[in-house]
Amino acid sequence: MIGAMSDPLGNSLPARRPTVRRPGDTIFQFLTTASGLAIVLSIVLIGVFLLLKAVPSLAADQANFLLSPNFVTTGGKLAFGIRDLFVVTVLSSVFALVIAMPVAMGIALFLTQYAPRQLARPFAYIVDLLAAVPSVVFGLWGIKVFGPVLEPLERWLNGNLGWFPLFANGNVSISGGGTIFTAGVVLAVMLLPIITSVSREVFQQTPTMQIEGALALGATRWEMIRTTVIPFGRSGYIAASMLGLGRALGETVAVLIILRSAPEPSRISLFDGGYTFASKIASAASEFTEALPTGAYISAGLVLFVLTFVVNAIARWIAGGRVHRP
Amino acid sequence: MAKRIDIKGLNLYYGRFHAVDNVTLSIPPRNVTAFIGPSGCGKSTVLRSLNRMHEVIPGATVDGKVLLDGEDIYDAGVDPVEVRRTIGMVFQRPNPFPTMSIRDNVVAGLKLAGVRSKSRLEEVCERSLRGANLWEEVKDRLDRPGGGLSGGQQQRLCIARAIAVQPDVLLMDEPCSALDPISTLAIEDLITELKKDYTIVIVTHNMQQAARVSDMTAFFNLSGVGRPGQLVEADDTEKIFSNPGKKETEDYISGRFG
Ligand SMILES: Nc1ncnc2c1ncn2[C@@H]1O[C@H](COP(=O)(O)OP(=O)(O)OP(=O)(O)O)[C@@H](O)[C@H]1O
Ligand SMILES: [Mg+2]
């Protein structure tokens, strides 16, 4: 910060003058800067660790890492690709988000704008409680209870809307519901508390003045929500959704339990089975004894890491772009 | 346009708290009526009850009648949304929709009422901004966000927004309290201008302002802490300021109160 600065129009501004600094401020600044650096450092270290472990395996990979649908690391052969892991991960997570986003917005608006106070509190508490359910329970519930319930719906969609690629026949049987469709719906339920609680918080903070301004103009309740509450909370809602997406991308146990393993490559359908990055890695955890096969899984983990990072960056960009514009 | 308001036996509550007691008052059309009185005596509460904004607050209830040209706005069959479309309101602190453009802010009420014609919106936008004395300042940046204007400009934008729907009555709650003297004068001129077409009710803490802009003045007072506010008297502004009927009023106006 030394030397002349310039404002957005390019006019130079005078440099900041030296001034008295209090020791408390200096110590506090040191502490906060150190914690900030520690976070950045640990992320960099994780990245470096993954990269170091992954490179030898990638070099030994006999298949195309990005495009091959197979993941073979046994029998002394290394031929792995992440295509299907990527497809299953993205498909299940995005499907989950597509379901969870509108429902979460509905719940958040209901809780903040429509529900009477006595009802809003316990209801919000119940939604938050969903976040406390362990994912293994979601997984068991998903495959034992919810999958069979969804099965007829899946069959109907497949039978009547099968011309739409996402509803076409997948690489596993729909019976029992061990499909991306079921996994996505269960993931959506898992995302609900995350997206809802953040959205509820931001919607709640819509300034009363704005709300009254809209109502005084003759807006109905819904029009008021559309003109003030939603624009005010939009960036927070989107950021919350991206947070949820990050969670869905990395969800392991529930997906592992629900998805049936598939004999064939993915057909990019919601009725596929298979593995996500996370569930694939978890499923192989007992085999992490030799360096090269382990490195193959670490490469997959690295891709998930980058994917999550990109999602977060996008969330930040969206949220920031809306908030800081005058 | 420009309807008269008759308040009859109006009692206002916030939950159990009785905020305003038994107000009866007639507000003539094409006139400016000022509400004055000490803080907490219920001026804003009464004002907000005139376009059914009082009931927006959780637990707030109304008892009594408010007749708009003879029709009770609290009748069971009356839609509060319709009432607010005919009775506009300007708040103490400017509250434009910050992300909406200046143009969209002005025509927001019309759009809510279902007006879609581009040319009509354009025409109303210009007329309202001219009416609010803001056109010259913003005509080159109608697409910029309303939140980017100065406080005084934002308040005039809010007035433009309120008059764009051509309400029958315009309610203003201390519209100048956040403004500098020049913007204040601009808005006072505007009020004088607007009263040709509208019935205007204004709450103000500024005695000079009440004396300058209003034709009629209503003085509210509190008989004690925790007691409901009440209307002490209402009369021609000239009379209230020169020869009020009650001693309380005289004390307040001459500054011998609180
Ligand atoms: N939202 C509310 N909830 C509960 N009580 C309220 C609320 N708004 C106002 N009151 C109470 O109602 C009474 C009248 O308030 P009101 O805002 O009408 O006063 P006012 O005359 O406008 O005062 P000021 O000149 O300070 O604006 C006060 O005792 C106030 O505490
Ligand atoms: Mg007030």
Query: Nearest-CA neighbor of A212 among B60, B166, B30, B137?
Result: B60
Provide the β-strand partners of residue A5: A13
Domain for residue B203, yes or no? yes
Tell me, yes or no, whether B161 lies in a domain: no
CB count within 10 Å of CB A41 equals 11
In ligand 1, which atom is closest to the CA atom of B37?
21
Domain span at residue A233 reads 85-286+302-319
Is the pTM higher than 0.90?
no
Q: Which ligand is nearest to the CA of B205?
A: 1
Determine the Cα–Cα distance for residues B207 and B6; give it in Å rounded to an integer.
Answer: 24
- A55 occurs within a structural domain: no
Q: Does residue B258 sit within a domain? A: no
| Within a domain: B209 | yes
> What DSSP character marks residue B254?
T
The residue with tokens 């809010």 is B158
Tell whether the model's pLDDT for residue B232 goes beyond 90: yes
Residue A7 domain-assigned (yes or no): no
pLDDT of A184 above 90: yes
Task: Kindly state whether residue A214 falls inside one of the protein's structural domains.
Answer: yes
Q: Residue A325's pLDDT band (boundaries 50, 70, 90)?
A: very low
Domain-located, residue A309: yes
- Per-residue pLDDT, A9: 60
Residue A10 counted as domain residue: no
Contacts of B157 in chain A (CB under 8 A): none
**Alpha-carbon gap, residue B55 to B74, rounded angstroms:** 11
Question: So what's the pLDDT on residue A108?
Answer: 95
Q: What 8-state DSSP symbol labels residue B141?
A: G
Output the six-digit token pair for A233: 């909370």
Number of neighbouring beta carbons within 10 Å of residue A32: 10
**CA distances (Å), B178 to each of A67, A209, B150, B155, B183, in order?**
64, 14, 11, 9, 10
**Is residue B64 within a helix (H) or strand (E), and if so which, with residue range?**
strand B60-68
The 10s digit of each residue's pLDDT in B187-215 is 899 899 889 989 999 999 999 999 999 99
Mean pLDDT over all residues of chain A? 90
Single-letter amino acid, residue A122: P
Residues of B in contact with A209 (CB under 8 A): 91, 93, 95
CA separation for the pair A315, A320 (Å, rounded): 8
Q: What integer pLDDT is reported at residue A160 of this predicted model?
A: 95
Query: Which residues in B lie closer than 8 A to residue A217 (C-beta atoms)?
Result: 84-85, 88, 108-109, 112, 161-162, 165
**Domain with B195 in it: what CATH number?**
3.40.50.300
- Which of the four pLDDT bands, split at 50, 70 and 90, describes residue A323? very low
If one counts the domains in chain A, the total is 1
C-beta B97 within 6 A of ligand 1? no
Q: How far apart are CA A311 and CA B53, in angstroms?
A: 43
pLDDT at B219: 96
Q: What is the pLDDT of residues A84-110, one digit of tens each?
A: 999 999 999 999 999 999 999 999 999
A303 within 8 A of A82, measured Cβ to Cβ: yes
Is the pLDDT at A156 greater than 60? The verdict is yes
pLDDT of residue A7: 58
A206: contact with B, CB 8 A cutoff: no
A221 domain residue, yes or no:
yes
Amino acid at A231: P
Q: How far is A44 from chain B (nearest CA, A)?
A: 38
Residue B33 lies in a domain: yes
> What is the biggest distance separating any 2 CA atoms in chain A, rounded to whole angstroms?
75
* A-B C-beta contacts closer than 8 Å: 64
Count Cβ atoms within 10 A of the Cβ of residue B13 and give its class: 0-12 exposed, 13-18 middle, 19 or more buried. middle
Closest CA to A15 of A28, A25, A29, A5: A5
Range of the domain at B198: 5-92+169-253
Which chain B residues contact residue A326 at CB under 8 A? Answer: 145, 147-148
First to last CA, chain A: 25
Q: Which residues are bridge partners to B15 per DSSP? A: none
Report phi then psi at B196, rounded to 5: -60, -30
Residue B44 near ligand 1, beta carbon < 6 Å: yes
Q: How many domains does chain B have?
A: 1
Of B51, B82, B113, the CB nearest to A216: B51
Q: Is residue B141 part of a domain?
A: no
In a domain, B186, yes or no: yes
**Residue A307 touches chain B, beta carbons under 8 Å:** no
Nearest Cα residue in chain B from A117: B58
Residue pointed to by tokens 């030296």: A18
The tokens of B93 are what?
């602190």
CA A272 to chain CA mean position, Å: 20
The CATH number of residue A223's host domain is: 1.10.3720.10
Q: Is A48 within a domain?
A: no
Q: Per the domain annotation, does A3 fall within a domain?
A: no
Q: What is the structure's pLDDT at B183?
A: 81
